[in-house]
Amino acid sequence: MTEPQKKERSPAIAAAIILLVVGLGFFILPRIMLWLGDFSPWLAGAFGTVFVLAFFLIFWLRARYQRRRGL
């Protein structure tokens, strides 16, 4: 595989891995929130909010990193 092909596929593979991991996280998120809700509904809400914001934070940080490297 030549270098240009590798540069084109690498971001797509990284995005697919991130989406897979986050997708699994969203799959188990309701179960975690229900468990945390037994202790405190505020804690469950805060956890869900942080998890959703972390999803966008990952892609924002990744875009900054790629922009800096010129990808």
Q: What is the mean pLDDT of residues 17-30?
A: 91
Higher-confidence residue: 6 or 54? 54
Q: What is the mean pLDDT of residues 19-25?
A: 91
Q: Give this prediction's pTM.
A: 0.69
* pLDDT of residue 3 exceeding 70: no
25-47 residue pLDDT tens: 999 999 999 999 999 999 999 99
Q: Give the mean pLDDT of the chain.
A: 86
Phi, psi of 65 (to 5 degrees): -65, -45
Domain boundaries, given as residue ranges, for the chain: 29-71
User: Which long-range CB contacts under 8 A does 42-48 form with residues at least 24 apart?
Assistant: none
Phi, psi of 70 (to 5 degrees): 80, 30
